Chains A and B, each alone.
Chain A
Amino acid sequence: MKRLMTCIECPKGCRLTAGVGGRRLISVTGQKCPRGKKYAKREVESPMRTLTTTVLTSRLELKMLPVRTNKPIPKSKLLEAMKAVKRMTLISPVRTGSVIAPNFLGLDADLIATRDLGKKL
């Protein structure tokens, strides 16, 4: 089966044509660099996305702390992950890269801060 997809690994956004058998990648054309093939393989086998969102804080400089997963997580888990994020409140200052939740939801990725955030002045 042929499947058309757009590589999202960089802003070039190559149009890929993947040959797919069940949930396996058989062939791929259209990529301008090797990352395109990796993307197509993962997209066919189990699509992954990096989650970026914000966590509510208490008594810190800003009301919301921007965060992300340090690795992509399964696309199918994004909304569940958002529910978990909404139950969190951050109460201590963090630096960029500080781990907010290790092995987040058991997905083998950490939820990390993407900016420094100090105490409320």
Chain B
Amino acid sequence: MASKRELVIVGGGPAGMAAALAANKSGVRDILLLERDQYLGGILNQCIHPGFGLHRFKAELTGPEYAGRFIKMVGDSPEIEVSLRSFVVKLTGEKLLSYLRPGAFEEIEAGAVILATGARERTREMIHIPGSRPAGVYPAGLAQKMINIEGWLPGREAVIVGSGDIGLIMARRMVMEGMKVKAVIEIQKTSRGLARNVVQCLEDYGIPLYLSHKITKIHGADRVEKVDVVEVDKNFNEKPGTGFALACDTVLVSVGLIPENELLELAGAEIDRATNTPIAPEVNLTSIAGIFACGNACKIYDLVDWVSRDSEKAGKMAAEYLKTRWNTQTQIL
């Protein structure tokens, strides 16, 4: 039999934690926060660089420090129950939720659900780089996790595809760890990342940024050996005679994030296929009443400060929803 809970939040990153705290403040007394990892904090745990919290805390914090402040607040809230190593595998439109935790399969009937499941990286397959499929090609965020959490290096010499902030941050991180970063290759005319990251992550270390360039091929049998690079014109067509090769054993792909919304899809909500975001009239809402989405699951954010701010609104919206639902139910009785 499914047990009943008032508010269930899926995902214990900054979005889930902010939503839980705000819902609690708005009067929700029974909150269950489910996180599949062994700790709260989500992606912030691997973002060890500074750049978080300038707006929220008026201080430049690292990812773990920013997360730490919210983890403490959640720990100090007895009405928020945190369940770690709890992987939500199913959600229905009636807000029935199933999750796995070590040694158990649990089912819950929730009054309201907030999905704060974050985003996943776009991968190489999505941008179609031709060539063989040797080892040594990683999404930049995965490489970040390897180095910063697991403590091992992906290779010795790297080329980074895409100039998003994660790729720029990883360029510096790999240099610091003793790797050589040959270049960052960006197909657009301008960097996708913040100017400050171009300066402090590339220029500081003399790493060339090739704008209006793309990778045409990855070579290597078992392991990456080199990549072919070519300049492109404004229609992204290859310019003849501009090609060159860069020897490397590692290719990092940093071409952006897409919201993680499998659960919402299972529940039958409407999803925009192009962006993988919920279709709804307002941020944090979905097409199903009582199911909310916040943080990177709702739309991709650059700054965690805005994730926290908007997710607090999601918490309040869920609290409002639960109140009105309760009122209408008692009227019917």
Q: Is the CB of B200 within 8 A of A49?
A: yes
Complex Cα spacing A6 to B176, Å? 22
A8 within 8 A of B: yes
Most buried by A among B178, B196, B204: B196
A110 to chain B, nearest CB (A): 15
A1 within 8 A of B: no
Q: Is the CB of B49 within 8 A of A64?
A: no
Chain B: which residue is nearest A10 at the CB level?
Answer: B54
Complex Cα spacing A52 to B51, Å? 11
B289 within 8 A of A: no
A34 to chain B, nearest CB (A): 15
A27 within 8 A of B: no
Q: Is the CB of A68 within 8 A of B62?
A: yes
Interface 1/0s, chain A 6-48, versus B by CB < 8 A?
1111110101000000000000000000000000000000000
B68 within 8 A of A: yes
Q: Is the CB of B50 within 8 A of A50?
A: yes
A82 within 8 A of B: yes
Q: Is the CB of A79 within 8 A of B176?
A: yes
A62 within 8 A of B: yes
Q: Is the CB of A63 within 8 A of B196?
A: no
- For A115, the chain B residues whose CB sits under 8 A away are 45, 64-65, 67-68
Chain B: which residue is nearest A49 at the CB level?
Answer: B200
Complex Cα spacing A78 to B172, Å? 11
Given contacts A49-B200, A52-B62, A68-B62, contact A11 B194 (CB under 8 A): yes
Chain B: which residue is nearest A63 at the CB level?
Answer: B151
B173 to chain A, nearest CB (A): 8
- For A98, the chain B residues whose CB sits under 8 A away are none
Chain B positions within 8 Å of A, measured between CB atoms, are: 45, 48-51, 54, 62, 64-65, 67-68, 147-151, 176-178, 194-196, 198-200, 204, 302-303
